[in-house]
Chain A
Amino acid sequence: MPCRMDHGSRLRWFAREVLPHEADVRRWLAVRLRGLDSCDLDEVVQEAYARLWSADLDRILNPRAYLFVTARHIVGEHLRRSRIVSIELMADLEELNIVDDEVNAHRRLSGQQEIARLHRIVKELPPKCRQAFQLKKFEELSQREIAARMGVAESTVEKHLAKALRFISDKMKSAEDEAEVPSVGTNRLWKRARR
């Protein structure tokens, strides 16, 4: 891998620089690609993550724009591969070339909003799944300790945790939560200086 960051740093980079923009990129694509059934949004996003993962992350100056552009490329490739492409769609794709306000207009959630969102999600988890998740992430227990505490097999704990992660990852796909909570003007504090 050309990048100097280690695995953990790369994951934290993704968490910090890519995840917060995923919901926006999905919405942006969804609006412009209506009617493109064969092109699954999940597929585009997964492909985009894979491409970013193999990129030299240190050299990406604007991860948000990079994510948008990568997603656009993927859709473009997909359209070129499919035999029949409607004129309408091509026109829409042209639109994707424009780095519009939406690409630049990003507001990061404040720490409070992030916490509130996590708690909202946790509340929605099924009881056992929630308990396992809380013991793992809030109490920092090992799966073995959680299993002992809950009186279940370790493999059951693992299943609960995977389910919780799956649930959270689904929630990350939409930005509804962000829209519900008004921005309180603290964004500045959470933004990193551009390198």
Chain B
Amino acid sequence: MVRIVSGSAQGVDELAAAWAVRSAERALTPQEQQQLDDWLSQSSRHVGAFVRAQAIWTDVDRVVALDDTTRADPVAPESASRWRRYAIAASLILAILVGGITYDRFVGRIATARAEVREIALDDGSRAVLNGGAVVQVRYDENSRQIVLRRGEALFDVAHDTSRPFVVTADDVTVRAVGTRFAVAVEGGDIEVTVAEGTVEVAKAGEPPRLIRANQQFVVAPTGPRRASLDEAEIGRRLAWERGLLVFSGQSLERAASEVSRYSPVPVVIDDPTLARAEFVGVFRIGDGRAFATAAAQAFNGAVVERDGGLHLMRRPSSPSH
């Protein structure tokens, strides 16, 4: 990565902008952090300029979110559309008071933190449940109910309304429903649609739409689309996060641990390769890595050791080997 050089040629605002952009993009390396700290400690002016640059950069997101909402109702009567917006806002704000979602103050954009799963009541009676680390944008108007899934996974329980289709967009894929229950996930380059009830229509830009029915999963991947039939139990397992639960029914302990660690503030690490392959059954509350590690240790006569900021699962020396 390019070094941000604090030379005299560059102005304070210029350096502040460079640091603000970089630190918003990713975690700084220890060396970069040191460089930044050095620069900040040189002058309180640098601190002020950096705060200002970060605030401006963050604030662009808020204005962009406003714009999306606004585009959804172009020439609707001012007062009516405003009230609608505030009605949606009211329902969202309620959810925030209950759940503490990161909500960008204005209608439209909702984001969840890594370890939270939150339910959002939408003003048409539909319901959206966001998995950890998800970002959605809600755009409702008289003719359509639109949700843009920017990141992560969300499940939708759609209130029946034939006059206003419910459309979820993820990248160039649209999922259309009238009244049903389905989940959409953006993972890597894949867009995954899982239908629990009813039927949805999935269309990738430039391709004819496909009908995906209950207990089916459809994945749009860079390598081409694929469709899978899943039984009800598997669908239930995959969507258990909606209830704040993780369900394992014979997955390898390694896979289970990586899924648990996705939500847990303390990752669960499996040190023993034979343990990693063991099949695991259990139901856990999302975010509770400790309960998972303890249960897995009990099930396989192992032990949990906490070190290096992780929960390490290992076999007891006395345990019978497989």
Contacts of A19 in B (CB 8 A): 52, 55-56, 59
| Closest Cβ–Cβ distance, residue A126 to chain B (whole Å) | 15
Sort chain A's interface into a size bin: 35 or more
Q: Given A42-B13, A162-B21, are A11 and B1 also a contact pair (CB < 8 Å)?
A: no
Contact, CB under 8 Å: A114 / B52: no
Of the candidates B55, B66, B135, which one forms a contact with A114 in the assembled complex, judged by CB atoms under 8 Å apart?
Answer: B66
Judge whether A140 and B151 touch: CB under 8 Å. Answer: yes
Tell me if B48 and A50 are in contact (CB < 8 A): yes
- Whether, in the assembled complex, B93 has its beta carbon less than 8 Å from a beta carbon of chain A, the answer is no
A138: chain B residues at CB < 8 Å are 64
Taking CB atoms, residues of chain B closer than 8 Å to A15 are: 55-56, 58-59, 62
Asked if A49 contacts B48 (CB within 8 A), the reply is yes
Closest beta carbon of chain A to B23's beta carbon, Å: 10
Within 8 A of B (CB), among A1-44: 8, 11-12, 14-16, 18-19, 22, 42-43
Q: Are B70 and A111 neighbours in the complex by a CB distance under 8 Å?
A: yes
Bound together, the chains give a CA A114 to CA B59 distance in angstroms of 11
Flag whether A65 is at the interface (Cβ < 8 A). Answer: no
Q: Please, which residues of chain B bring their CB within 8 A of the CB of A43?
A: 45
Please determine whether A18 and B55 come into contact, CB atoms closer than 8 angstroms: yes
A179: interface (CB < 8 Å): no
Instruction: Say if the beta carbon of A181 comes within 8 Å of chain B.
Output: no
Nearest-neighbor residue (CB-CB) of B19 within chain A: A162
Per-residue A-contact encoding for B63-102, CB less than 8 Å = 1, 0 else: 1101100100000000000100000000000000000001
Chain A 107-145 interface mask (CB, 8 Å, partner B; 1/0): 000011011001000000000000000000110101100
A166 at the interface (CB under 8 A from B): yes
User: Nearest residue in A to B137 (C-beta to C-beta)?
Assistant: A140
| Pair B14/A49 contact, Cβ less than 8 Å | no
Evaluate contact between B56 and A46: CB separation under 8 angstroms: no
- Does A158 belong to the interface (CB within 8 Å)? yes
- Tell me the bound Cα distance from A84 to B60 in angstroms: 43
10 other A-B residue contacts (CB within 8 Å) besides A140-B151, A161-B21, A165-B17: A12-B105, A14-B52, A19-B52, A19-B55, A22-B52, A48-B48, A112-B70, A115-B70, A137-B61, A169-B13
State the A residues within 8 Å of B (CB).
Answer: 8, 11-12, 14-16, 18-19, 22, 42-43, 45-53, 111-112, 114-115, 118, 137-138, 140, 142-143, 154-155, 158-159, 161-163, 165-166, 168-170, 172, 189
Which residues of chain B have a CB within 8 Å of any CB of chain A? 1-2, 12-14, 17-18, 20-22, 25, 44-49, 51-64, 66-67, 70, 82, 102, 104-106, 135, 150-151
A–B Cβ pairs within 8 angstroms, 5 of them: A48-B48, A115-B67, A137-B60, A158-B18, A165-B57
The 10 A-B pairs of least Cβ separation, nearest first, read: A49-B48, A46-B48, A50-B48, A15-B59, A14-B55, A50-B44, A50-B47, A46-B45, A165-B17, A166-B17
